[in-house]
């Protein structure tokens, strides 16, 4: 069975504040490890009222403390916003607190708007140093040499596993060159998924961390007891994407009965292009969609976004997704026996 993982958006909604969003993320992790999910990641986003994970390393600690086995990490840290030394200290500390459970996914996008970049003190050319910054971070997480004068304490020697995140060919090429696992953000940028995976696999160079390519595919999946109910739940995410195009990054909104009354034709076209690889429906629909996606991409793991407004319904969505994937895998195994 292809491993399943979760990208937790830490959504602030019209009914749940930031503290509630963080506690919901922690609660999801505790349930998800019992359903068989491999990891749960949160992402660095700034100046977005609807997302509570800006202080990503702190959020990871909160989530990891409420669970026992599931890996918890960043999907990702936008490395050009930070000194690699500081990120090494933070994630090395997390690894000391939760040994064997911490992941560090790295992206080079700012994770915010241009005005907020000024508040972050991010220089316009910061992204150009991303490959060098990744290597510097990796060196600080490695065992310190006897003559090494600058050590990341207590990070040195933790070897926190690094991932490269991307939505274009750049990340694929860098992950391949450095021999790191690669996660593609097809949950919002599906157009380049297959070309990026081809580049990554064809150019991959083995490293100390990874002997062969390992590709994770991001995908939106919303499951409910019926196709109709799942499609209704999915309107929350469709409205969120529409609001981005309108320049309104507000709070998550409850689902509605008729999305066609919410968006304009041009907005629908934009949103559905970004959501083109979404899988929405009953367990049967979801199981078939997962099977088809894995067959098409050869993904080694799926990173699932299930952007459902109500926390109980979202838990149910992730439970149904895991059960549907397991049932499909068991069917395939029995047919091949």
Tell me the pLDDT tens digit for each residue of 290-326: 999 999 999 999 999 999 999 999 999 999 999 999 9
* In the chain, % of residues over pLDDT 90: 88
| Among 242, 246, 224, CA closest to 233 | 224
Question: Which pLDDT score, from 0 to 100, does residue 335 have?
Answer: 79
pLDDT at residue 237 in the model: 98
Average pLDDT over residues 48-69: 97
Helix, strand, coil percentages for the chain (3-state, nearest 5): 50, 15, 35
Res 49: pLDDT = 94
pLDDT at 188 over 70: yes
Judged by DSSP in three states, 135 sits in helix
Q: Tokens in use for 260? A: 């066609």
pLDDT in tens, 95-154: 999 999 999 999 998 656 677 777 777 776 777 899 999 999 999 999 998 888 999 999
**How high does pLDDT run on average in the chain?**
95
- Work out the number of other CB atoms within 10 angstroms of the CB of residue 234: 24
Q: Is residue 235 part of a domain?
A: yes
Domain ranges, residue 245: 221-297+308-337
The answer on pLDDT for 37 being more than 90 is yes
The whole-number pLDDT of residue 259 equals 98
CA count, 13 A, side-chain hemisphere, 135: 7
pLDDT at 13 over 70: yes
> Is residue 64 a contact partner of residue 102, using CB atoms and an 8 Å limit?
yes
Assess if residue 254 is contained within a domain.
Answer: yes
For residue 127, the model assigns a pLDDT of 75
Residue 260 domain-assigned? yes
Q: Are 210 and 178 in contact (CB under 8 A)?
A: no
The structure tokens 């026996």 sit at 337
Q: How far apart are CA 189 and CA 194, in angstroms?
A: 11
Whole-number pLDDT of residue 120: 75
Q: How far apart are CA 190 and CA 184, in angstroms?
A: 9
Q: What is 72-116 written as a DSSP string?
A: EEEEEEEGGGS-HHHHHHHHHHHHHHSTT-EEEEEE-S-SS-HHH
Here the tokens at position 33 are 């490890």
Is residue 45 included in any domain, yes or no?
no
Least confident window among 34-38, 69-73, 106-110, 186-190: 106-110
153 part of a folded domain: no
% residues pLDDT > 70 (the chain): 98
Question: 10 Å Cβ neighbour count for 84?
Answer: 23
Phi first, then psi, for residue 10 (nearest 5°) are 50, 55
Element (H, E) at 272: helix 265-274
246: in domain: yes
pLDDT at 337: 67
Task: Tell me the pLDDT tens digit for each residue of 236-247.
Answer: 999 999 999 998
CB-based burial of residue 131 (10 Å sphere; 0-12 exposed, 13-18 middle, 19+ buried)?
middle
Q: Is residue 87 part of a domain?
A: no
Does the structure show a pLDDT above 60 at 222?
yes
Does residue 205 carry a pLDDT above 70? yes
Number of domains in the chain: 1
């Amino acid at each position: 069975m292809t491993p399943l993982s979760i990208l937790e958006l830490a959504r602030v909604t019209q009914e749940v504040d930031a503290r509630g969003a963080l506690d919901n993320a922690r609660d999801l992790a505790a349930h998800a490890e019992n359903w068989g999910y491999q990891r749960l990641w949160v992402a660095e986003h700034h100046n977005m009222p609807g997302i509570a994970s800006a202080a990503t390393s702190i959020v990871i600690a909160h989530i990891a403390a409420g669970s026992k086995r599931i890996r918890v990490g960043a999907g990702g840290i936008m490395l050009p916003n930070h000194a690699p030394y500081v990120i090494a200290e933070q994630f090395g500390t997390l690894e000391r607190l939760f040994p064997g459970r911490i992941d560090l996914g790295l992206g080079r996008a700012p994770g915010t708007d241009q005005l907020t970049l000024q508040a972050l003190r991010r220089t316009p050319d910061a992204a150009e140093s991303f490959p060098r910054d990744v290597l510097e971070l990796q060196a600080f997480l490695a065992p310190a040499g006897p003559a090494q004068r600058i050590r990341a304490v207590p990070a040195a020697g933790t070897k926190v596993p690094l991932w490269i995140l991307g939505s274009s060919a750049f990340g694929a090429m860098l992950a391949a060159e450095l021999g790191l696992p690669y996660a593609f953000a097809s949950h919002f940028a599906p157009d380049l998924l297959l070309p990026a995976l081809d580049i990554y696999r064809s150019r991959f160079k083995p490293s100390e961390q990874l002997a062969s390519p390992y590709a994770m595919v991001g995908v939106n999946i919303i499951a409910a007891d019926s196709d109709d109910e799942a499609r209704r739940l999915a309107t929350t995410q469709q409205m969120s994407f529409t609001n981005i195009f309108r320049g309104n990054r507000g709070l998550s909104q409850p689902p509605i009965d008729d999305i066609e009354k919410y968006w304009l034709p041009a907005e629908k076209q934009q949103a559905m292009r970004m959501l083109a690889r979404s899988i929405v429906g009953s367990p049967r629909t979801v199981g078939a969609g997962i099977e088809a996606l894995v067959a098409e991409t050869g993904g080694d793991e799926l990173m699932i976004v299930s952007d459902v407004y109500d926390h109980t319904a979202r838990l149910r969505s992730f439970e149904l997704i895991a059960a549907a994937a397991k049932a499909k895998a068991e069917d395939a195994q029995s047919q091949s026996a």
